[in-house]
Structure 1
Amino acid sequence: MRTYALYRDHNLHIVFGVALVAVLRSDSITPAFPDLVRALRIPAESVGLLITAFALPSIFLTPILGVLADRWGRKRVLVPALMLFGLAGGASALARDFRFLLGLRLLQGIGAASLSMLNITLIADLYSGRECTAAMGYNATVRSIGSTLYPLIGGVLATPGWYYPFALSLLAIPVALLVQFTLRNPEPRRDTQFAEYVRHARESLRTREVAGLFIAGCVVFIIMFGAYLAYFPLLLEEAFLASPLVIGWLISGRSLINAIIASQIGRITRFCAEETLLKTAFVLYALALAAILLAPSLWFMVLITFILGTAEGLYWPANHALLGKLAPAEHRAGFLAVNDTVLKLGQTLGPLLMAGVFGLWRIQGTFYVAAMLSLATFALTMVTVRSEDIISLRSARS
């Protein structure tokens, strides 16, 4: 029985360190891109390859690394991944050749491929019940804070030289050492045959509840990356002549509200089940995305930002908690790796799908379609993510 507050748990602090490394993707280096283009004398259109090279390994390696984390143990995958991330990222600060820099970013992407998945897996390994949900909320808060601050820190570091933001990745090395020597986490059983592992993992994935949660996560990435992040700035400039500074504040404000709401998930779930929070989030997504087009003033966008931030703050901790609890420990990492791959699919398809919608119905169509997708997913979760079924399935797998 824990005799102190959850947020004071040393294991959770280490998991937060993993979370902060996991979200240290490309946001911190993008402020340096203009200076990098000039210094390395490359075409401006080539600089995006630094993001592509980093993201590419995750598409192929995340499921494999999830299986290895189940078969070999979490630390045996996580510690080398963090070390590779830190060393390749740190070496990027010394690179003065673009091709060499691309190669280092590819190596760093290999290190990054398992981090988000293992970040969530560790929480589900370490905590259960309401504690797991609360820990997921704290973790989402930390991730949101990191995502908000890294571009600002990167901009400051890029002022004296374009290469300094890359050195932020060295923070992964002390996190790796903390994981190796001070993290006290349970490891999965390693005595099952691989064929048996695959059979059990397939059975755990082939349920209505899991399919509903996977689809819901994919839809959130489609609407947020495809509609909101791509076209919200354009709408603000077109409708209200908003400056880049105002646009940036509104987008950052969403992350701030997300962090505040997620930090309170432990308290909220005393009154509402995770399944209810998940469904509520989709109602809020639909409301905000439809209201964007009806906003009479820029100040109304502040309210919409609050609603979207609340939706995200409710959705992600609830989604991660449900998936973590439904996944048996012996193949939890592989289970969550499949979810991570589905999310990346949504992140990839979202901008492509909404670009097609934009071509047909312009910017208004993108937000109306996103709102309808949210309502459709709400209806889907009403059928597939039901409290009584979740409780029954969780009991059968415990």
Structure 2
Amino acid sequence: MEKTLESWLELIFGKGGTVFLDKEMQVVMLAAAVGMAGVYIVSPIAADVTLVFEMPLVRAGELITAYTAPSIILVPLMGMLSDRIGRRQVIVFGFIVFGVAGGAIGLVNEFSTVLILRVIQGMGFAALMPVSVAMIGDYYADIQEATAQGVRIVGMQSVALVAPLVASGLLIASWRAPFVLYFVAIFAALWTWRILPPDIEVMQELRSGYMSKLYKSLVRLDIAAVSVSFVIRFMMSFAFFAYVSLLVLEKFQYGAFEAGVIVTSYGILTLIGAAQSGRLMARFDPLVLLGISLLATGVGLAMIGASSSFIVLMLALVIFSAGASVSAPIQKSLMVQFSPPELRGGTISAAMAAQSFGQAAGPFLMGFLLYRGTVSITFVRIGLVLGGIGLILAVIIRFARSRRTSLFI
């Protein structure tokens, strides 16, 4: 019997997999993919770009930190703004800023200017990521929502299948060439404006007591602990992205191509794992999965640092990627479920501000520790400590859900 497209999607993603066909879901996937392209294009070439400007290699991580740092402040503002004026306006703004600033990097001649443009590009990133998560909560519920979170991760990681290798290949022509790819986001803005309806239900004005209600939501222990778990996961992931090119250079004397292979492999593995998230959450306790997956992410990162050969590194990458791919949709699904609907944009954005802090803090911590040890040792230290903290946070979330505890009594 011939399978239909819908049945194939159900087979791949599990129950609710047909959300993949919804135009709104495709916008969500595109926004997530474009946002992560800000990392996947730069990650394998960071060391080479730093050398072009004759900067110390330890500054390679600044190319990632500059991109993610604005989100710490801007993500909550973008979330509240999307609650007020609508998701479409904010997400289109994000595409345009991301594309213009990112593409302009290829036109400059100073490392400091590159970092400034990465900061501006990060403002677009701050608009794209939280709104794409909030949109899932707007359109889906129950098993469809859980599956949609996994589909979003698939969209986000799909860019990892091509971007790192394309960026590494373009680097052969010029260090400027990979950044031209970012101009594509401008076309994404035009398509999104055409696809998304203008009448998405939003708050026409901030209701009385909105900020007070948002504060009470954010200090609930379950929501606060999930937010901190975002910090932990992204510290590990972005420490990896920022310094994997330096790791393979130090350990094996490999260059941008091999780093691109590693990042692409990470994308493939996380894509496979994320596609199963809806099925896993329907079968197992999400909080148990969260604790195990965060611990696996840390252990995998430590094993990458301790690897004695490129093959061993790739095997460790499987563990690291499996942990990251399972924990990511679970975290976002839990945040959507825990958030009051009328506060969803603000609550999710606050959690993603914590995520952005992790994105900036991971490379910063790596760079700081590199003055006191090798890249390999630093990978091991960060992986073991943060993986253990992730497991503890999952236990705290379970306790909080059983007691409905606030941080402040």
Name the TM-score, length of structure 1 as normaliser.
0.80
Task: Give 1:371's aligned amino acid.
Answer: L
1:126 and 2:139 correspond: yes
Alpha-carbon distance in structure 2 between the residues aligned to 1:339 and 1:144: 20
Are 1:32 and 1:158, in contact at CA under 8 Å, matched by a contact in 2? no
**Secondary structure of the equivalent of 1:385?**
helix
1:312 and 2:324 correspond: yes
Are 2:233 and 2:390, in contact at CA under 8 Å, matched by a contact in 1? no
- What is the aligned partner in structure 1 of residue 203 from structure 2? 189
Are 2:102 and 2:118, in contact at CA under 8 Å, matched by a contact in 1? yes
Alpha-carbon distance in structure 1 between the residues aligned to 2:38 and 2:336: 24
Are 1:62 and 1:340, in contact at CA under 8 Å, matched by a contact in 2? yes
Q: CA deviation at 1:56?
A: 4.6
Are 1:65 and 1:114, in contact at CA under 8 Å, matched by a contact in 2? yes
1:153 and 2:166 correspond: yes
Q: CA deviation at 1:281?
A: 0.3
Are 1:221 and 1:343, in contact at CA under 8 Å, matched by a contact in 2? yes
- What is the aligned partner in structure 1 of residue 72 from structure 2? 59
Alpha-carbon distance in structure 1 between the residues aligned to 2:247 and 2:236: 15
Are the structure 2 counterparts of residues 173 and 214 from structure 1 closer, same or farther at C-alpha, using a change threshold of 3 Å? Answer: same
Are 1:277 and 1:315, in contact at CA under 8 Å, matched by a contact in 2? yes
Are 2:71 and 2:123, in contact at CA under 8 Å, matched by a contact in 1? yes
Are 1:357 and 1:366, in contact at CA under 8 Å, matched by a contact in 2? no
- What is the aligned partner in structure 2 of residue 214 from structure 1? 227
Task: Give 2:300's aligned amino acid.
Answer: A
Are the structure 2 counterparts of residues 89 and 71 from structure 1 closer, same or farther at C-alpha, using a change threshold of 3 Å? Answer: same
Of 264, 268, 275, 1:256 maps to: 268
1:280 and 2:287 correspond: no
Alpha-carbon distance in structure 2 between the residues aligned to 1:35 and 1:129: 45
Alpha-carbon distance in structure 1 between the residues aligned to 2:184 and 2:190: 11
Are 2:153 and 2:329, in contact at CA under 8 Å, matched by a contact in 1? yes
Task: Give 1:86's aligned amino acid.
Answer: G
Alpha-carbon distance in structure 1 between the residues aligned to 2:313 and 2:103: 39
Alpha-carbon distance in structure 2 between the residues aligned to 1:353 and 1:162: 26
Q: CA deviation at 1:140?
A: 1.0
RMSD of the TM alignment (CA)?
A: 3.8
Alpha-carbon distance in structure 1 between the residues aligned to 2:117 and 2:241: 28
Higher radius of gyration, 1 or 2: 1
Equivalent runs, 1:1-398 vs 2, <5 Å: 5-25=18-38, 27-28=40-41, 31=45, 43-44=54-55, 54-92=67-105, 95=107, 98=110, 105-184=118-197, 186-193=200-207, 195-226=208-239, 228=240, 241=252, 243-244=254-255, 246=258, 248-289=260-301, 291=303, 298-354=310-366, 363-364=376-377, 367-368=380-381, 370-385=383-398, 389=402
Alpha-carbon distance in structure 2 between the residues aligned to 1:288 and 1:35: 27
Percent identity of paired positions between Structure 1 and Structure 2: 24
Alpha-carbon distance in structure 2 between the residues aligned to 1:301 and 1:34: 21
User: Per-residue displacement from partner, 1:100-123 (whole Å, max 9, x unpaired)?
Assistant: 766655543333321111121112
Task: Give 1:271's aligned amino acid.
Answer: R
Task: Give 2:202's aligned amino acid.
Answer: P
Are 1:86 and 1:169, in contact at CA under 8 Å, matched by a contact in 2? yes
**Secondary structure of the equivalent of 1:114?**
helix
Q: CA deviation at 1:319?
A: 0.5
Q: CA deviation at 1:162?
A: 4.5
User: Per-residue displacement from partner, 1:239-296 (whole Å, max 9, x unpaired)?
Assistant: 7x47445555344323321110101212222212322321220332354355557767
User: Per-residue displacement from partner, 1:107-147 (whole Å, max 9, x unpaired)?
Assistant: 43333321111121112222111111111111112212213
**Secondary structure of the equivalent of 2:209?**
helix
Of stretches 19-28 and 102-111 in structure 1, the one that deviates more from structure 2 is 102-111
Are 1:54 and 1:105, in contact at CA under 8 Å, matched by a contact in 2? yes
Q: CA deviation at 1:368?
A: 4.7
Task: Give 1:13's aligned amino acid.
Answer: Q
Structure 2 gaps of 5+ residues are 1-14
Alpha-carbon distance in structure 2 between the residues aligned to 1:231 and 1:157: 20
Q: CA deviation at 1:298?
A: 4.9
Task: Give 2:132's aligned amino acid.
Answer: N
Are the structure 2 counterparts of residues 162 and 334 from structure 1 closer, same or farther at C-alpha, using a change threshold of 3 Å? Answer: same
User: Per-residue displacement from partner, 1:43-71 (whole Å, max 9, x unpaired)?
Assistant: 54699876665445333322222221112
Q: CA deviation at 1:166?
A: 3.0
Structure 1 gaps of 5+ residues are 394-398
Alpha-carbon distance in structure 2 between the residues aligned to 1:133 and 1:177: 28
Are the structure 2 counterparts of residues 237 and 126 from structure 1 closer, same or farther at C-alpha, using a change threshold of 3 Å? Answer: same
Alpha-carbon distance in structure 1 between the residues aligned to 2:68 and 2:164: 18
Alpha-carbon distance in structure 2 between the residues aligned to 1:229 and 1:78: 25
Of stretches 20-29 and 315-324 in structure 1, the one that deviates more from structure 2 is 20-29
Are 2:108 and 2:114, in contact at CA under 8 Å, matched by a contact in 1? yes
User: Per-residue displacement from partner, 1:297-341 (whole Å, max 9, x unpaired)?
Assistant: 654433322111111110001101111222223222222222222
Task: Give 2:201's aligned amino acid.
Answer: E
Are the structure 2 counterparts of residues 385 and 233 from structure 1 closer, same or farther at C-alpha, using a change threshold of 3 Å? Answer: farther
Are 1:36 and 1:162, in contact at CA under 8 Å, matched by a contact in 2? no
Are the structure 2 counterparts of residues 176 and 379 from structure 1 closer, same or farther at C-alpha, using a change threshold of 3 Å? Answer: same
Are the structure 2 counterparts of residues 89 and 347 from structure 1 closer, same or farther at C-alpha, using a change threshold of 3 Å? Answer: closer
Q: CA deviation at 1:179?
A: 2.4
- What is the aligned partner in structure 1 of residue 4 from structure 2? none
Q: CA deviation at 1:350?
A: 2.9
Are the structure 2 counterparts of residues 270 and 170 from structure 1 closer, same or farther at C-alpha, using a change threshold of 3 Å? Answer: same
